[in-house]
């Protein structure tokens, strides 16, 4: 009986030389660190040093999140990754009516430079790499981070990290968009230009397939729709007059790692190969760094279960191993209790220890691309590449990623796959340990971490004090300058930075842009 992969592709019981008949190792593989980067983007990969262990954290107030960051750094985290609450992600202040009940729940509440200052208090920003999972208001949070760094005496040219800044996937799978696609892409291009001049070491975008996978995308859909979005961003920047080799080396990607280890390894290898070919053949990139698909990986939150949550420790270890064998540049391992509530200090530490065991107790860092030449993995890499390229061609036939989004194509394809997964799980054809097989009659009690509901009131009080203490005329003048830039062709980030320096809030800055650009209203499904 032939099994199907997560992408619906056949997985044979045995692979052999015949499965690679006519296969050209030179064209398909190359050396590690060389085109087409199938074997990894760097020649030595982890043999020199391991991947960046970047733990995603943020909840409640800036002070509480700061304490968690300090703990993670003390336990050996080499990079921070900030989770923002839903109002911040949507460009609303904590006292906005739409924010009620959501302040500090799924991430940290950031309303102004005052909050950002507390969030990174005592953390040397010239020695820590920070990733911020923020999209529609990415420019706002990036500039707040720069302002706090300046207060620490750290120049923008010394800052390293990433903003997700991938709004296209919000229209496809996640929903935390603000503006319509066209002005959103203009804002992305403004960020590219600003960072090239001001923050040359900063990764200006993390083009994300992770959230598509969490919504139900197969591995083939994940890389196809993610790379199609990447192509759209590159086209936007080139159309704005930027040289591809001037910004492409700072592009990065963000993928999921599932428990289907072999297919995930193949997925990462196929994605690198496709991207290298697109950048060289379509965009004429000459700098080898422009051809490299560098990516962060997070283990699959959607595969965590509230039932028998300790089993998630095993799932996360397998997923992390898939990411490492696939050649990730940085990794976040989920905590085993995240299907129940926010991670406790102990579970967050265990998640980090999972990475450290892989890096320092196993031999996976001893050699580059240990699956190279595997009959199974090489064939699966080719199959995934073919499936992903076919989907990318369908996106192109609709006019590109934005046009396909407006048709509802990607969203509909992902929803169809999610429905297939749900049907297989309900029927028992897809085994989920502890859920539809190997269940317990009674679950053991577990005490999760809960966010204090009084946080919202405290944030509202902080906002009231900020508005009373600041120079209202300076804020009004700065917001007017921002709207003027948004109405024309000037880069909106310099006036945005001055508004934030004057202590304008996240919501006020986003509202100023809403007045000019409007808000996005989704279309019906494809």
pLDDT of 526 over the 50 cut: no
Task: Check: CB of residue 483 under 8 Å from CB of residue 516.
Answer: yes
Q: Among 451-455, 498-502, 520-524, where is mean pLDDT lowest?
A: 520-524
pLDDT digits (tens, 9 = 90+) for 347-363: 989 999 999 999 999 99
pLDDT of 525 over the 60 cut: no
Cis link prior to 299 (omega < 30° from 0)?
no
Task: Check: CB of residue 70 under 8 Å from CB of residue 96.
Answer: no
Compute the distance between CA of residue 526 and CA of residue 522 in angstroms, rounded to an integer: 12
The domain made up of 3-407 has a fold known as: TIM Barrel (3.20.20)
pLDDT digits (tens, 9 = 90+) for 403-416: 999 999 999 999 99
pLDDT of 1 over the 80 cut: no
Instruction: Report the candidate in 170, 181, 189 with the shortest Cα–Cα distance to residue 518.
Output: 181
Say which residue the tokens 């995240």 belong to: 338
Helices 138-151/506-517 angle, 10° precision: 140
- Three-class SS of residue 166? coil
Residues forming CATH 3.20.20.240 domain(s) in the chain: 3-407
Say which residue the tokens 């920047």 belong to: 237
Compute the distance between CA of residue 217 and CA of residue 411 in angstroms, rounded to an integer: 9
Of all residues in the chain, the percent with pLDDT exceeding 90 is 88
Residue 344 pLDDT: 85
Residue 122 pLDDT: 94
pLDDT of 135 over the 90 cut: yes
pLDDT digits (tens, 9 = 90+) for 163-212: 999 999 999 998 999 999 999 999 999 999 999 999 999 999 999 999 99
Strand spans (E) along 311-389: 330-332
Q: How many residues does the chain have?
A: 526
Exposure of 79 in the CB half-sphere (CA atoms within 13 A): 22
pLDDT band at 524 (very low <50, low <70, confident <90, very high): low
Q: Is pTM beyond 0.95 here? A: no
DSSP 444: P
In this structure, what are the phi and psi dihedrals at residue 430, rounded to the nearest 5 degrees? -105, 110
Question: Average pLDDT of 87-113?
Answer: 96
Question: Average pLDDT of 80-97?
Answer: 96
Compute the distance between CA of residue 429 and CA of residue 137 in angstroms, rounded to an integer: 42
Instruction: Report the candidate in 304, 260, 336 with the shortest Cα–Cα distance to residue 433.
Output: 304
More confident residue, 28 or 50: 50
Say which residue the tokens 């720069």 belong to: 146
Q: Report the 3 state secondary structure along 77-124.
A: CCEEEEEECHHHHCCCCCCCHHHCCCCCCCCECCCCHHHHHHHCCCCC
Residue 60 pLDDT: 85
Q: Among 150-164, 331-345, 422-436, where is mean pLDDT lowest?
A: 331-345
pLDDT digits (tens, 9 = 90+) for 456-472: 999 999 999 999 999 99
Question: Average pLDDT of 86-102?
Answer: 97
Pairing of strands 10-11, 52-57: unpaired
Long-range contacts of 277-280 (CB under 8 A, 24+ apart): 277/36, 278/227, 278/231, 279/234, 279/244, 279/248, 280/35
pLDDT of 256 over the 50 cut: yes
Instruction: Report the candidate in 233, 207, 205 with the shortest Cα–Cα distance to residue 400.
Output: 233
Q: Report the 3 state secondary structure along 451-509.
A: CCCCHHHHHHHHHHHHHHHCCHHHHHHHHHHHHHHHHCCCCCHHHHHHHHHCCCCHHHH
- Three-class SS of residue 335? coil
Distances (CA, A) of 473 to 127, 372, 497, 504, 509: 37, 63, 16, 11, 15
């Amino acid at each position: 009986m032939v099994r199907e992969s997560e992408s619906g592709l056949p997985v044979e019981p045995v692979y052999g030389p015949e499965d690679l008949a006519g296969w050209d190792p030179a064209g398909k593989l190359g050396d590690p660190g060389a085109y087409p980067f199938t074997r990894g983007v760097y020649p030595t990969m982890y043999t020199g040093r391991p991947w960046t262990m970047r733990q995603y954290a943020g909840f409640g107030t800036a002070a509480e999140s700061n304490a968690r960051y300090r703990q993670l750094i003390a336990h050996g985290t080499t990079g921070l990754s900030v989770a923002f609450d839903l109002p911040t992600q949507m460009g609303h202040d904590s006292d906005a009516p739409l924010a009620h009940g959501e302040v500090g729940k799924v991430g940290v509440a950031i309303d102004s430079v005052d909050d950002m200052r507390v969030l990174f208090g005592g953390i040397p920003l010239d020695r820590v790499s920070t990733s911020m999972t923020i999209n529609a208001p990415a420019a706002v949070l990036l500039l707040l981070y720069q302002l706090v760094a300046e207060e620490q005496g750290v120049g923008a040219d010394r800052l390293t990290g990433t903003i997700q800044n991938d709004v296209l996937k919000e229209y496809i799978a996640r929903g935390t968009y603000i503006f319509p696609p066209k002005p959103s892409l203009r804002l992305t291009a403004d960020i590219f230009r600003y960072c090239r001049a001001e923050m040359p070491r900063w990764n200006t975008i993390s083009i994300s397939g992770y959230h598509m996978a969490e919504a139900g995308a197969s591995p083939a859909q994940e890389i196809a729709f993610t790379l199609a979005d990447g192509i759209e961003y590159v086209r936007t920047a080139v159309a704005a007059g930027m040289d591809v080799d001037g910004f492409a080396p700072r592009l990065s990607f963000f993928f999921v790692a599932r428990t289907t280890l072999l297919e995930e390894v193949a997925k990462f290898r196929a994605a690198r190969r496709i991207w290298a070919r697109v950048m060289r053949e379509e965009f004429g990139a000459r700098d080898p760094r422009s051809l490299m698909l560098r990516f962060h990986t997070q283990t699959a939150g959607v595969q965590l279960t509230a039932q028998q949550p300790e089993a998630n420790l095993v799932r996360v270890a397998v997923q992390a191993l898939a990411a490492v064998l696939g050649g990730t540049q940085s990794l976040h391992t989920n905590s085993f209790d995240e299907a129940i509530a926010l991670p406790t200090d102990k579970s967050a530490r265990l998640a980090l220890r999972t990475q450290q065991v892989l890096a320092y107790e196993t031999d996976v860092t001893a050699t580059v691309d240990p699956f190279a030449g595997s009959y199974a993995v090489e064939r699966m890499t080719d199959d995934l590449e073919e499936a992903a390229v076919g989907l990318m061609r369908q996106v192109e036939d609709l006019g590109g990623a934005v046009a396909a989004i407006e048709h509802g194509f990607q969203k509909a394809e992902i929803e169809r796959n999610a429905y297939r997964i749900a049907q297989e799980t309900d029927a028992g054809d897809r085994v989920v340990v502890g859920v539809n097989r190997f269940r317990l009659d009674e679950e053991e009690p577990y005490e999760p971490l809960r966010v204090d509901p009084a946080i919202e009131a405290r944030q509202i009080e902080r906002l009231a004090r900020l508005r009373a203490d600041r120079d209202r005329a300076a804020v009004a003048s700065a917001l007017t300058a921002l709207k003027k830039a948004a109405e024309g062709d000037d880069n909106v980030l310099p006036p945005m930075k001055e508004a934030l320096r004057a202590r304008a809030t996240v919501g006020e800055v986003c509202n100023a842009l809403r007045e000019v650009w409007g808000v996005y209203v989704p279309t019906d499904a494809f």
